[in-house]
Structure 1
Amino acid sequence: MTRVLLTGGSGFIAAHTLDVLLKHGHSVVTTVRTQAKADKIKAAYPNYGKDKLDFAIVPDIAQPTAFDRAVISDPPFEVVLHTASPFHFNVTDVQKDLLDPAIIGTTGILKSIKKSAPSVKRVVITSSFAAIINPSKGFWPEHTYSEEDWNPITREGAEENAMQGYRASKTFAEKAAWEFLEKDEPNFTITTINPPMVFGPIIHNLESLENMNTSNQRILWAAQGKFKDEIPATGIHIWVDVRDVAEAHVAAFEKSDAANKRFFTLAGYFSNKEITQIIRKHFPQYKVLPTNSTPGGDYPEGGVDALYKFNNKRSIDILGLKYRTLEETVVDSIKSFQAVGL
């Protein structure tokens, strides 16, 4: 059993990570913004006492000292999993809504750990393919993306739109973490998990389908009939199941070889058209789905050969991931949406 601090416990990835942590027998304190969120998570795990599942209230991760108290625990923490970071495009101020929570949240927790939690030996941070991709290259079929790649985005580029702001937030936050490791020489290691589009069933407390996490929205909207006349462009054509991302976070501290490494965690290629076809195959009750002749949402001309390649070997070899299929993920996602009223 390991004593773990998990930040952002009510988030999409964090909720699944909490599930894996508890199943692996670890003792977890998770941070949430409000007591109400803590109460909802606690209600989902009625059989776990405070020794196994407890909470720390951190209202605003963009405050430099936000985690100062949360990192102090009895018994002391050995591991910190930092998943708390905004992922949405409902942005009025890129700096305030995206950059500050991501960058200050990351550097703040690292400083708090170094200052007040000397027992922590492993830190795992949720990063993203957003910190790897070079958007200016487009589909870039001659290139193979791996952990060696970095998004070249600049501070000026971050202001272009919400998508660029999000990509910048993940890139700058992850770079800040590696710089901290190099310059501050803490007595803990750092590992980052870099997934692309993350799909999968919801197990966090969702009050309504309107509050669906950003990455899952396209599966929901397809089932709701929003793609009936035209399927939107897929955008990023690589994906991963949230349950595999959660497993990656836990394996990243359970396996010593994962220390001080990035992990590009992805299952493979997908298109929005494929998602609609899977829904139609398994859920014929949704009559407003696109047909095979509905325009849009497909791979570029040339199929996957016209797309960038990827290398996810490190995540398989070191973390031991066995990636789920797109079909399993979409089916399980829809079933979980049905429980909230789809």
Structure 2
Amino acid sequence: MPTISPKDKVLVTGANGYIGLWVVQYLLERGYKVRAAVRSDNKGNTLEVLFKEKLPEQAANLEYVLVKDIGAEHAFDVAVKGVAGVIHIASPMTLEIEDPQELIGPAVGGTLSLLRSALSHGNDLKRLVITSSVKAVLGPEPRTYTEEDWADYAVKEVEEKGKAADKMSAYCASKLLAERAAWSFVEEHKPSWDISVLNVGWVYGPTVNDPASPAVLPSTAGLFFQQFFTVRDEAYSYPAAQNYIDVRDLAQADIKALEVEAAGGERMIIASQWGTWQHWLNAAAELNLLPKLDKWDPKRSEGRPARVASNEKAKRILGITFRTIPETLRDTLDDFRPRGWLKDWEA
């Protein structure tokens, strides 16, 4: 499949989200034309205003298209016309559910809706990148996982327990089933374009926009602030151990997956390294950051069993270098500091 390059037009779903904003920014900076899929005119207008301020010379290359319900039939018919690439990010990210189908239905439906529209109307399309999750890869056992692994245990739990299934298992199942649906669709229909799937870790790092307070930080950026600064009890280790990725590295990986020919037809884990919240606290101490922050026990995570997601394939194919915990932490705090969010923990 011919590679995609700057000057091509790329559709980004979930464009106004935490990850999507970084993808849009990097695409514009690299010279791409960007079509941002958003749910409302208000979100589209906000996006345009943001990038007119941040990238005034490139903002003319940004347009938006309304996709009010990603799971609706023909939802992306207009959005995919005339684009050479698609980066699909939009998917439900919440554990506030009563039934696993609240996650599974939109995740699978949104992916298939996009693929059907691409098949029927994506006459210029070359590649579609799906941003999935490492949760579709990891099993329950502590070991090293690769792209050959699937989190089938989660699907089994949802099938057996239904509404009583663990909510995180429901989320894992939604990501796995959406990804498998994509691969099955391509195998069945054999479109002229190909797909690449990125299985990403927990996403942390700075934001593109300027949230008014920590309470409105998007997605896992809000989880980071909550866990790092406000939670101090026995549940503090949640997520007990995680494979994480800097949001900026993920955005670059999404774009690389469009551009690198060898990424076509591949499933790649996008995660920097494994760690617990104690590792982040240790990094803060080593960098002499936030002297008033409770650092807990520096040895608290030693010997903890780990489910490690290998990133060797992504590094080899995409040629990217991932930021470390200290690097992401430093830049995230630099993002928070001008807003006055760190004053309670600084000297």
Q: TM-score, normalised by structure 1?
A: 0.88
Quick one: percent identity of the two aligned structures?
29
Label 1:337 to 1:131 Cα distance change in 2 as closer, same or farther (>3 A): same
How many corresponding residue pairs? 327
Deviation of the 1:196 alpha carbon: 1.4
Distance of 1:48 and 1:129 partners within structure 2: 36
Cα pair 2:270 2:314 within 8 Å, conserved = yes
Kept after mapping to 2: 8 A contact 1:158/1:164? no
Structure-1 separation of matches of 2:43 and 2:285: 35
Match of 2:72 among 52, 57, 63: 63
Aligned partners of 1:219 and 1:275 also within 8 Å: no
State the partner residue of 1:271. Answer: 276
CA contact (8 A) 1:222 1:276 kept: no
Is residue 328 of structure 1 aligned with residue 327 of structure 2? yes
Q: Which residue of 2 aligns with 1:311?
A: 310
Contact 2:243 2:308 (C-alpha < 8 Å) held by counterparts: no
Alignment of 1:14-25 (within 5 A): 14-25=20-31
Q: Find the counterpart in structure 1 of residue 224 from structure 2.
A: 219
Task: Report the counterpart of residue 41 of structure 1 in structure 2.
Answer: 47
1:65 and 1:204, CA in 2 relative to 1: closer, same or farther beyond 3 A? farther
Is 2:210 the partner of 1:202? no
CA contact (8 A) 2:18 2:218 kept: yes
What SS does structure 1 have at the residue aligned with 2:45?
helix
Q: Distance in 2 between matches of 1:311 and 1:226?
A: 29
315 and 285 in structure 1: CA distance in 2 versus 1, 3 angstrom threshold? closer
| Residue number in structure 1 paired with 2:90 | 84
Q: 2:193 aligns with which of 188, 195, 215?
A: 188
Query: Secondary structure, in 3 states, of the residue corresponding to 2:318?
Result: coil
Q: Which amino acid aligns with 2:72?
A: Q
Contact 1:158 1:168 in 2 (8 A): no
Equivalent residues of 1:71, 1:112 under 8 A apart: yes
Deviations 1:294-324 (A, max 9, x none): 89xx43x524xx4244431111111011011
Greater alpha carbon shift after TM alignment, 253-262 vs 227-236? 227-236
1:276-291 superposed matches below 5 A:
276-280=281-285, 287=292, 289-291=293-295
Cα root mean square deviation, aligned: 2.4
Stretch of structure 1 that moved more, 265-274 or 174-183:
265-274
Q: Is the 8 A contact 1:223 1:279 kept in 2?
A: no
The one-letter code sitting in structure 2 at the alignment partner of 1:302 is G
Q: What is the distance in 2 between the residues matched to 1:90 and 1:6?
A: 26
Q: Deviations over 1:73-98 (max 9, x none)?
A: xxx111111110111222234323x1
Which stretches in structure 2 are left out of the alignment for 5+ residues?
Answer: 1-6, 342-347
8 Å contact kept, 1:220–1:337: no
For residue 145 of structure 2, what is the aligned residue in structure 1?
Answer: 145
Provide the C-alpha distance between the structure 2 equivalents of 1:90 and 1:283, rounded to a whole number of angstroms: 37
Deviations 1:129-152 (A, max 9, x none): 0110113x2x2x3xx211111110
| Whole-Å separation in 2 of the counterparts to 1:310 and 1:230 | 23
CA distance in 2, matches of 1:264, 1:189: 18
Is the CA contact (8 Å cut-off) linking 1:221 and 1:227 kept in structure 2? no
1:260 maps to 265
Structure 1 spans left out of the alignment, 5+ residues: none
